[in-house]
Structure 1
Amino acid sequence: MTVRIGTRGSKLALAQAEIVGKKLAGLGIKVEQKIISTQGDEVTGVPLHEIGKQGVFVKALDDAILDGEIDCAVHSMKDIPAIRPSGLVIAAILPRDSPADYLAYFGAVSAVKVVGTSSTRRKAQLLRHDPDLEIRDLRGNVDTRMRKLREGQYNAIVLAEAGLQRLGVRIPGERLPPEKFVPTPNQGTIAVVSRADPSLMEVLSVLDHPGTRKDVAIERAVMEQVGAGCFTPMGIYCKAGHLVAEVLSLDGKRVERIEKDIGTLEEARAIGKDLREKAGGLIEEAYKTLGISL
């Protein structure tokens, strides 16, 4: 059996697809790789919230699976929308790597005044930590972001630590503790999406990590009940059943936060509903300010 793996063309996406490909090859399964361009890759000059809703890095790969062009696609789990097309399944979730953000900078952290990030969550959390910071929009792949940092366009940039690790990139800076800088749901996790074909799902299932699947399922259950969308400053992180979830104002001055040990999806959904009730005003305010309809 040959498994055709689809991926975006960025270095990080290719590295993640290579991780999956090597695992399958190690099991004696032949693999082929195909690069698929997505809307998120093609439009890089504007903030993500001006392109569209969550899924700008996923839809083209979904379509390629459904059209029979590829058998499966490798994604950062955090990029996969809650609502999925019929006929597709998340066939495998790999063991989670670091969920944390990484603040990359040269010199002393006390000299950091201008930080680059396109994430409303990261912006709000940084401003909560230090209201005097200036946050400027920054998009592009890891190489592009690091180049702009070296050129002095920013004093620091925020990256996912897992991405740096997968690329083998070492850069001065510090890990931002996920308990305080709560990551986006499912950050640090690689997922394999495939057709709902039992024989294909059986092959890919050997890559699945039950503990990670449970944690990310809890995060997604909370996210779905909050229903805030990917442009709300929202962090949700679960580790071995310990859940931290928060919604912030865009300026980081206000926050609704829940921290609790849970064990079931039903509990996660209840917490998500509670957080939605408490943070509804912050969510509406964020979307109004960004000019996006909920």
Structure 2
Amino acid sequence: MSQKVIRIGTRDSELALWQAHTVQKKLNDLGYKTEIIAVKSQGDIILDKPLYELGITGIFTKTLDIAMINGQVDIAVHSMKDVPTALPVGIVQAAVLERANVLDILVHKGNLDFLSDIGTIATGSLRRQAQWLNKYPTHNVVDLRGNVNTRMQKLNDSNWSGAVFAAAGLERINLKPDDFIDLDWMIPAPAQGAMVVVAMADDSFTREAVSELNHIETEVCTYIERQFLKTLEGGCTAPIGAFATYDENNDTITLKGVLLSIDGKDKIGIEKVVPIEEWKKLGFHMAQEILNNGGEELMKNIKLSLKK
């Protein structure tokens, strides 16, 4: 085996480092040499603006993309839901790791009376905001930015009723508190709970090494979800949820998808079960169905309201 050291690029938040160390251990167990290089991203630095105002979907991945293209690192590890559906030229998906918990959870202050009354919920995600307001139209939703630790601290220091987090992120760094409820009615972000490793297209040694970490079922399901997202949004940030599951007993794929208005008042949902053979175009076809069913108009309105 070649003695090349695979340099793993990562953001320097606790969760990002956990993800990088997880990949490092898996590669080391296979006999590869590795080194972790932490880089700060614009998404971590600019905390006073909502993500969609930064005008870029890949705000957390851009810095690492540049480091890879410049040859400072060989691979980058990301929460797959943060990765734009179109990768930069020269960068390819090298592996998707087995998915963890996909659910969103509500972290609260121990009292849930506000659920049947008025409350203030914090989240930096348009998807969570829209789904929350669709279910709880009397509530107020406020913007919450920063890495997982920062957001937890802001919740503790606030008078908010609660905040919505991805369960996987809190579980990975042991931050999941006792006071939480699973939001199993909320459709997760495409690829939520999955980690992806990207590499340079022309680096065959590294791509081959990393491909040994790929989990095929997670790769297929996240592909379907991201295709659904890409077909709907066309490069615009929007409240979109998608979750695909594989049923090995029946050899079928189920996809649940949703598109909402930002205020949560309009919601177009879809759910389908198809034979596994039809997985390649499932996300595309279901997104087209939503677009033809009022989704096109909804996407126009979303783009207009984000420009204001």
Q: TM-score under structure 2 normalisation?
A: 0.91
Asked whether the 8 Å contact 2:239–2:259 carries over to 1, the reply is: yes
Asked whether the 8 Å contact 1:228–1:283 carries over to 2, the reply is: no
**1:111 counterpart = 2:118:** no
**1:182 counterpart = 2:182:** no
Question: What do the CA deviations read for 1:88-139 (whole angstroms, capped 9, x no partner)?
Answer: 1110100001111110012221235111111111111111111111101111
CA distance in 2, matches of 1:230, 1:164: 27
Asked whether the 8 Å contact 1:104–1:174 carries over to 2, the reply is: yes
Deviation at 1:53, TM superposition (A): 2.0
CA distance in 2, matches of 1:274, 1:66: 37
2:87 paired residue among 69, 84, 89 = 84
Asked whether the 8 Å contact 1:76–1:189 carries over to 2, the reply is: yes
CA distance in 1, matches of 2:234, 2:259: 9
Asked whether the 8 Å contact 2:236–2:303 carries over to 1, the reply is: no
Aligned twin of 1:168 = 174
Asked whether the 8 Å contact 2:108–2:161 carries over to 1, the reply is: yes
Instruction: Tell me the secondary structure at the aligned position of residue 207 of structure 1.
Output: coil
Deviation at 1:276, TM superposition (A): 2.2
Q: Which runs of 4+ in 1 moved over 2 A?
A: 227-231
Deviation at 1:24, TM superposition (A): 1.0
Aligned twin of 1:245 = 257
Aligned twin of 1:13 = 16
Question: What do the CA deviations read for 1:39-63 (whole angstroms, capped 9, x no partner)?
Answer: 2111111111111221011111111
Question: What do the CA deviations read for 1:199-247 (whole angstroms, capped 9, x no partner)?
Answer: 2111001100000000001111111211354621111111112100110
CA distance in 1, matches of 2:262, 2:148: 24
**1:152 counterpart = 2:167:** no
Instruction: Tell me the secondary structure at the aligned position of residue 54 of structure 1.
Output: coil
Q: What amino acid is aligned across from residue 304 of structure 2 in structure 1?
A: K
Deviation at 1:152, TM superposition (A): 2.8
Deviation at 1:258, TM superposition (A): 0.9
Q: TM-score under structure 1 normalisation?
A: 0.95
Asked whether the 8 Å contact 1:182–1:237 carries over to 2, the reply is: yes
Aligned twin of 1:287 = 303
**Aligned positions of 1:59-98 closer than 5 A:** 59-98=62-101
Aligned twin of 1:225 = 231
CA distance in 2, matches of 1:37, 1:276: 37
Aligned twin of 2:31 = 28
Asked whether the 8 Å contact 1:120–1:232 carries over to 2, the reply is: yes
Aligned twin of 1:125 = 131
Where do 5+ consecutive residues of structure 1 fail to align?
none
Question: What do the CA deviations read for 1:126-173 (whole angstroms, capped 9, x no partner)?
Answer: 111111111011111122211122123311011110001111113111
2:207 paired residue among 201, 205, 212 = 201
CA distance in 2, matches of 1:272, 1:115: 29
Asked whether the 8 Å contact 1:221–1:265 carries over to 2, the reply is: no
2:272 paired residue among 256, 260, 267 = 260
Where do 5+ consecutive residues of structure 2 fail to align?
247-252
My pick for the range that moved more, 161-170 or 139-148, is: 139-148
Asked whether the 8 Å contact 1:9–1:36 carries over to 2, the reply is: yes
CA distance in 2, matches of 1:69, 1:238: 35
